[in-house]
């Protein structure tokens, strides 16, 4: 065997060894890049292939807002098939769900993620001043995200929804259904129960701003208490009827 071949093999073995013991802290750099600085991994332990830590969602000022425990295990041998297969667990009591990483994007399925409603304000800064309360449950049946398209279905429920700006609590329970058809993600909003009735629909195309319209209906007995909150984020079209548009 020629010397240069031995050198190449030696370099390959060395590279594999370095990757095998790469620290889990490298995951933080990837999260920050993909989320544009909104997600961070702190207290990371283990290696790039098997580790744990606390995943934080932060506001635009860089302050931590919501944190959850995160653990992962990747299968290095799956790289031979052109992608990287792994398992992720959010919260120590949460169930494990599969993740597939490739050069083109990421796939996951059968994932259940819960977080406080304050996280909605971190993801959408325009909602932050409302002091949202309640619990959010996200179920991802199947999701594939690539550079130019999103495919899959997911459901988000906001339970015991509320705000510090109204004495009525809870306002209700609400559900958003997401359906990605490749070119865009289509969204439907409806009310499960509660005095504040919300219905809406919209879409979000890759590389464009979301286009979403929601209608809020308030019964007369609650109008005086809820109107000040709704006027902060919506336009009053008629008595008890408010329109919220996101573009």
pLDDT at site 161 = 95
Query: What pLDDT sits at residue 18?
Result: 41
Number of domains in the chain: 2
CA-only gyration radius of the chain, Å: 22
Q: H-type helices in the chain, by residue range? A: 3-20, 26-35, 118-123, 220-233
The CA distance from 240 to 218, in Å, is 5
Examine residue 247 and state whether it is found in any structural domain, yes or no.
no
Query: What is residue 126's DSSP assignment?
Result: G
Given this model, what pLDDT does residue 23 score?
A: 63
pLDDT at position 4, please? 53
CA distance 153 to 180: 6
Count Cβ atoms within 10 A of the Cβ of residue 149 and give its class: 0-12 exposed, 13-18 middle, 19 or more buried.
middle
Q: Which residues contact 50 (CB under 8 A, 6 or more apart)?
A: 72, 73, 74
Sign of CA dihedral 80, 73, 18, 14: negative
Range of the domain at 180: 106-207
4 within domain boundaries:
no
Query: Is 88 found in the same domain as 151?
Result: no
pTM over 0.75: yes
Q: Are residues 49 and 111 in the same domain?
A: no
Task: Judge whether 187 and 176 are in contact, CB under 8 Å.
Answer: yes
Predicted confidence at residue 63, as pLDDT, reads 67
Are residues 81 and 29 located together in one domain of the fold? yes
Using DSSP's 3-state secondary structure scheme, residue 233 falls into: helix
73 plus 162 within the same structural domain: no
Tens-digit pLDDT profile for residues 36-63: 777 888 888 888 888 899 988 877 676 6
Are 55 and 81 found together in one domain? yes
Q: Which residues of the chain have pLDDT under 50?
A: 1, 5-21
221, part of any domain? no
Distance CA 33, CA 52 (A): 19
Domain check: are 85 and 114 in the same one? no
pLDDT of residue 105: 86
Domain boundary among 86, 103, 120: 103
Q: Are residues 120 and 91 in the same domain?
A: no
Among the listed residues 51, 93, 56, the one whose alpha carbon sits nearest the alpha carbon of residue 74 = 51
Spatial CA neighbour of 113 closest among 137, 143, 87, 145: 137
């Amino acid at each position: 065997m020629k010397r240069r071949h031995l050198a190449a093999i030696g370099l390959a073995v060395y590279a594999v060894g370095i990757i095998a013991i790469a620290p889990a802290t490298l995951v933080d750099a990837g999260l920050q890049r993909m989320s544009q600085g909104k997600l961070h991994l702190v207290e990371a332990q283990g290696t790039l292939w098997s580790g744990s830590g606390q995943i934080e969602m932060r506001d635009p000022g860089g302050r931590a807002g919501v944190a959850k425990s995160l653990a992962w295990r990747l299968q290095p041998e799956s790289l031979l098939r052109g992608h990287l297969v792994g398992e992720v667990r959010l919260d120590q009591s949460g169930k494990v769900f599969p993740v597939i990483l490739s050069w083109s994007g990421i796939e996951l399925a059968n994932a259940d993620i819960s977080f406080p409603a304050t996280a909605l304000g971190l993801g959408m800064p325009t909602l932050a001043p409302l002091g949202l309360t309640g619990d959010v449950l996200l179920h991802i049946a199947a999701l594939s995200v690539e550079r130019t398209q999103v495919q899959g279905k997911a459901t988000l429920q906001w339970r015991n929804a509320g705000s510090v700006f109204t004495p009525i609590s809870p306002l209700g329970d609400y559900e958003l259904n997401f359906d990605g058809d490749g070119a865009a993600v289509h969204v439907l909003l409806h009310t499960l129960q509660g005095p504040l009735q919300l219905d809406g629909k919209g879409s979000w195309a890759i590389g464009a701003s979301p286009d979403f319209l929601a209608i809020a209906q308030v019964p007369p007995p609650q109008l005086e208490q809820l109107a000040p909150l709704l006027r902060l984020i919506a336009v009053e079209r008629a008595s008890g009827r408010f329109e919220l548009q996101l573009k």
